[in-house]
C-alpha cells in the first residue's frame, strides 16, 4: 500500500493506494481516528461489486453503518438527490463526528462530499473512488458539488476529505471504454508535470491497457502525488497553480457542451482537447511539432479519440460553447499550453481565428 | 467608524461599525478590494428603509448591482429560497470575483452567506446586518445555513465574509421588542467575557433602551470584539472555545423548540435561558446567588422576560426538547455555566433532577 499526503485547510489527509483496500476500509477508518457511524453513499452498479467487502470490513471493526443509494449516472448530482441524502443523515441522527463514505466514481464523490460539507456545516468524509478517473483526479483536492440545469458543478464546496481510499482492485470491474477514457487524465499529468510518467506510458501502454495490477498501482500513485502537490499549494484555485490541471479542458468542456454531454466521455473529450491545445501551442511557436506528434501517438496507442471526425460538430458551435463557458466561469478565456514534456504555460487573449483553425484541423465542420 | 478585525480561514476580514455606514457601502466595498458586480439579497421590510441608500452609494462608485428579494421571516431559510437565489446568480452570470451582499437580519445573512459559499464553490460575500442581533452575533464568525423541516441550521457552511458592515443607524428602525430581545445576546458577552460591558449595561440601561447612538456604537463594537476574538481562535467550533458563546442557549433552544418557535423571540428565550443557567450554577455551588441576582435584575431592567410564567410550558416538554437536541447535535448535554462575572465553564453530565428543578423554578409547569 502506498500513502500520499495532501495538505489542506482542514488539516493534512492521506490517500491510500493499493490492491484490495476496500476490504480494509474499517481498519483504515479506525486507524485514521474516525469514530462514530458511517453513511455509505453509493450507486447500485458499484454496490454490486464492492459493497459487500466494505460492509464486512466495517462489521469486523464494529463500525455501524447505513447504506444510501443515489440514482444512477450523472443525474445523481442534483438538488433533489442532495437533499434526499441530507434528510437521510437527519433521519439516522448523524452528528458532526460521524462519517459520509463515498463508494463509487466522481459523481458519487462529488455529491456525497458536498452533503458531508453542508450537513451540520461539515462532518467527516471519506472518498473511496472506484473508477480510474476518481482515483487519479476527482477524489483528490476537495472539489465537491452538484449540477444545476444551467450547467455542471455550479454549486458546491471546497471540502477536503478526511481520507481517500483508492483500491486498484476496483479498476478491474470498469468497462473498457471508461477505463481508457480515464487514462487521458493520467497522460495529462505526465505532460503538465512529470515527463517520466509520460515515458512510462509510452513504454508500457500494452500492459497498462491490460490493467496490470503493479503498473496501475504505480500509475495511480504517481498521479495522486502530482495532484496532491498541486492542490496542496492552491486548494481554492486562487493562485493559478491549480489551473494547470485544466490542460486540454478548455477545449474538452466546449466539446462536451456542444455535444450536450452525449457521445463523448469526459476523458475522451480531454484527449481530443489535449491534441487541440498542443496544436495551438505549435501554432504559437511554443511547442515543437514533434512533441505534439508524440502526445497524439500515445493517445492513439491508448485507443483514445484524437479528432472530432465522426462527431458532426461544427466549429462555430464549439466556439460558442467556449465563449459561454468563459462568460460563466470568469472573464478570460484561458488555455493551458505545453512548451515541452512536463512543462506548461497559461495563456489568455489567444486570437479567435487561431482557435477556430485548431478546431477545424481537429475535424470540426465549417 | 470603528474597525474590528477577524482572523479566518479565508484571510482576515474587517467589521466596520458606525453610524450611516450603509450609505457608504460602495466606498467600503471598493476600499476592501472587491471588484465586479453585486447581488443585493434582502427582504421587503428591510429594503423599504435601507435599500435606497445602498443603491445610491453603489451608483456613485460605479458598482453594478442586482436586487434579489427573499420571502419574509424565518421561512426564507429554506431549500427553495436557497436555490431561487442560486439560479438568480446563474441568470445574471455571477462569477467568482463578484459579490453577494446581504442586507437584513440574521435570516438574510445566513441564507445569502450559504448561497455565496456554495455558488461556484464560493464567491465574495459582504454581510450588512441591519438588526442588533445580526450586528452583535450572526454576521460575525462565518456561520451560514438554512433550515430543514426537521430542524434549524441543519445545512450550511462555515464561510467567513469578506467584510461586515454594521450601520448603527439601521438600529433605529427596529421594533422595540426585537431591539430589546437582541440586548440579551449583548448582555451575554458581558457575562461570559467582559465584566466592564456588564457594568456599562447596569449603569446605562436607560440610554441603551433609548438607543443612544454613541452608546450603541460602543456596545456593538465591544460585542464584535468579543465575538471576533472567540471565532478567530475556533472558527469551525472544534476546540470548544466557541462553545462559550452558547451561554443560556441549551435552555433557550429547548424553550424555543417546545414552543415551536412561536411566542418567544430568540433573544427572549436566551434571557430566560441565562437566568436558568445562572440558577443551575448556583445550585452546583459554582456561582454566588448574588451574582445570579445581579444578572436577573439587569435583564428585568431591560424589559426582558426572566421566567417561563405565562408561556404554559411544561417542564417535561422542555426536557424532552433538550434531549432531542442533544441527540441531534452530538452526544453530550453541555451547559455553559458562569462562575463569576466575565468567566464561564463548560459542564456535562448534570443530573437531570437538577435541570428539572431549575426549569420548574423558572416557571415551567409540572
Active site residue B237: yes
Inter-chain residue contact A158 with B327, CB threshold 8 Å: no
Which of chain B's residues have a Cβ under 8 Å away from the Cβ of A141?
none
Inter-chain residue contact A118 with B157, CB threshold 8 Å: yes
Residue A55 has pLDDT above 90, yes or no: yes
Banded pLDDT at A327 (limits 50, 70, 90): low
Q: Given A91, A121, A260, A262, which residue is catalytic? A: A121
Supply the pTM of this predicted model.
0.93
Residue A108 has pLDDT above 70, yes or no: yes
For A216-239, how does the pLDDT look when each residue is reduced to its tens digit (9 = 90+)? 999 999 999 999 999 998 888 887
Residue A101 phi, psi (nearest 5): -120, 110
Active site residue A316: no
Chain A residues within 8 Å of chain B (Cβ atoms): 9, 79, 83, 86-87, 90-91, 93, 95-97, 117-122, 143-145, 148, 150-151, 153-158, 236, 327-331
Active site residue B242: yes
Residue B330 has pLDDT above 70, yes or no: no
Residue A191 has pLDDT above 80, yes or no: yes
Which of chain B's residues have a Cβ under 8 Å away from the Cβ of A86?
148, 154-155
Inter-chain residue contact A155 with B122, CB threshold 8 Å: no
CB pairs under 8 A between A and B: 84
Inter-chain residue contact A157 with B122, CB threshold 8 Å: yes
| Percent of chain B whose predicted confidence (pLDDT) is above 90 | 89
For B159-189, how does the pLDDT look when each residue is reduced to its tens digit (9 = 90+)? 999 999 999 999 999 999 999 999 999 999 9
Active site residue B68: no
Look at residue B239 in the predicted model and tell me its pLDDT. 78
> Nearest CA to CA, how far is A141 from chain B (Å)?
13
For A78-103, how does the pLDDT look when each residue is reduced to its tens digit (9 = 90+)? 999 999 999 999 999 999 999 999 99
Compute the average pLDDT of residues A182-191.
96
Q: CB neighbours (10 Å) of residue B51?
A: 17
Active site residue A227: yes
Active site residue A237: yes
Of the candidates A87, A155, A327, which has its C-beta nearest B148's C-beta?
A87
Look at residue A10 in the predicted model and tell me its pLDDT. 85
> Nearest CA to CA, how far is B329 from chain A (Å)?
6
For A158-178, how does the pLDDT look when each residue is reduced to its tens digit (9 = 90+)? 999 999 999 999 999 999 999
Look at residue A9 in the predicted model and tell me its pLDDT. 86
> Nearest CA to CA, how far is A215 from chain B (Å)?
35
Inter-chain residue contact A157 with B154, CB threshold 8 Å: no
Compute the average pLDDT of residues A2-31.
96
Of the candidates A143, A150, A155, which has its C-beta nearest B118's C-beta?
A155
> Nearest CA to CA, how far is A121 from chain B (Å)?
4
Query: Which cell numbers hold the place of B190?
Result: 458581558
Which of chain B's residues have a Cβ under 8 Å away from the Cβ of A77?
none
Which of chain A's residues have a Cβ under 8 Å away from the Cβ of B143?
121
**3-class SS string, chain A:** CEEEEECCCCCCEEEEEECCCHHHHHHHHHHCCCCCCEEEEEEHHHHHHHHHHHHHHHHHCCCCEEEEEECCCHHHCCHHHHHHHHHHHHHCCCCCCCEEEEEECHHHHHHHHHHHHHECCCCEEEEEECCHHHHHHHCCCCEEEEEECCEEEEEEEECCCCEEEEEHHHHHHCCHHHHHHHHHHHHHHHHHCCHHHHHHHHHHHHHHHCCCHHHHHHHHHHHHHHHHHHHHHCCCCCCCHHHHHHCCHHHHHHHHHHCCCCCCCHHHHHHHHHHHHHHHHHHCCCCCHHHHHHHHHHHHHCCCCCCCCCCCCEHHHHHHHHHHHHHHHCCCCCEEEEEECCEEEEECCCCHHHHHHHHHHCCCEC
Inter-chain residue contact A328 with B122, CB threshold 8 Å: no
Inter-chain residue contact B121 with A95, CB threshold 8 Å: no
Active site residue A249: yes
Q: Given B50, B266, B296, B334, which residue is catalytic? A: B266
Residue A242: DSSP 8-state: G
Active site residue B35: no
Which of chain A's residues have a Cβ under 8 Å away from the Cβ of B85?
none
Banded pLDDT at B309 (limits 50, 70, 90): very high
Amino acid at each position: 500500500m502506498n500513502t500520499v499526503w495532501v495538505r489542506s485547510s482542514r488539516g493534512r489527509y492521506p490517500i491510500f493506494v493499493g490492491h484490495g483496500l476496500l476490504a480494509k476500509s474499517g481498519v483504515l477508518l479506525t486507524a485514521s481516528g474516525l469514530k462514530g457511524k458511517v453513511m455509505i453513499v453509493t450507486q447500485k452498479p458499484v454496490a454490486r461489486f464492492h459493497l459487500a467487502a466494505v460492509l464486512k470490513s466495517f462489521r469486523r471493526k464494529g463500525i455501524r453503518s447505513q447504506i444510501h443509494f443515489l440514482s444512477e449516472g450523472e443525474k445523481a448530482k442534483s438538488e433533489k438527490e442532495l437533499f434526499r441524502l441530507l434528510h437521510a443523515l437527519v433521519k439516522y441522527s448523524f452528528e458532526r463526528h460521524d462519517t459520509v463514505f463515498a463508494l463509487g466514481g466522481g459523481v458519487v464523490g462529488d455529491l456525497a462530499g458536498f452533503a458531508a460539507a453542508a450537513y451540520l456545516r461539515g462532518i467527516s468524509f471519506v472518498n473511496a473512488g472506484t473508477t480510474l478517473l476518481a482515483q487519479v483526479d476527482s477524489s483528490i483536492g476537495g472539489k465537491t458539488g452538484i449540477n444545476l440545469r444551467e450547467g455542471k458543478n455550479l454549486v458546491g464546496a471546497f471540502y477536503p476529505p478526511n481520507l481517500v481510499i483508492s483500491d486498484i482492485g476496483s479498476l478491474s470491474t470498469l468497462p473498457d471504454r471508461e477505463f481508457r477514457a480515464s487514462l487521458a487524465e493520467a497522460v495529462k499529468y505526465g505532460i503538465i508535470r512529470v515527463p517520466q510518467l509520460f515515458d512510462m506510458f509510452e513504454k508500457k501502454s500494452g500492459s497498462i491497457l491490460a490493467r496490470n495490477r503493479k503498473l496501475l498501482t504505480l500509475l495511480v500513485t504517481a498521479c495522486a502525488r502530482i495532484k496532491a502537490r498541486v492542490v496542496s499549494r492552491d486548494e481554492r484555485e486562487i493562485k493559478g497553480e491549480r489551473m494547470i490541471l485544466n490542460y486540454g479542458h478548455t477545449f474538452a468542456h466546449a466539446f462536451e457542451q456542444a455535444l450536450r454531454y452525449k457521445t463523448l466521455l469526459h476523458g475522451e473529450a480531454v484527449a481530443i482537447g489535449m491534441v487541440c491545445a498542443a496544436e495551438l501551442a505549435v501554432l504559437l511557436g511554443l511547442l515543437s511539432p514533434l512533441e505534439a506528434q508524440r502526445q497524439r501517438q500515445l493517445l492513439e496507442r491508448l485507443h483514445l479519440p484524437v479528432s472530432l471526425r465522426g462527431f458532426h460538430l461544427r466549429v462555430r458551435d464549439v466556439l460558442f460553447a467556449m465563449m459561454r463557458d468563459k462568460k460563466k466561469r470568469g472573464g478570460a478565456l484561458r488555455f493551458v499550453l505545453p512548451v515541452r514534456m512536463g512543462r506548461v504555460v497559461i495563456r489568455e487573449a489567444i486570437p479567435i481565428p487561431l482557435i477556430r483553425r485548431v478546431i477545424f484541423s481537429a475535424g470540426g465542420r465549417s
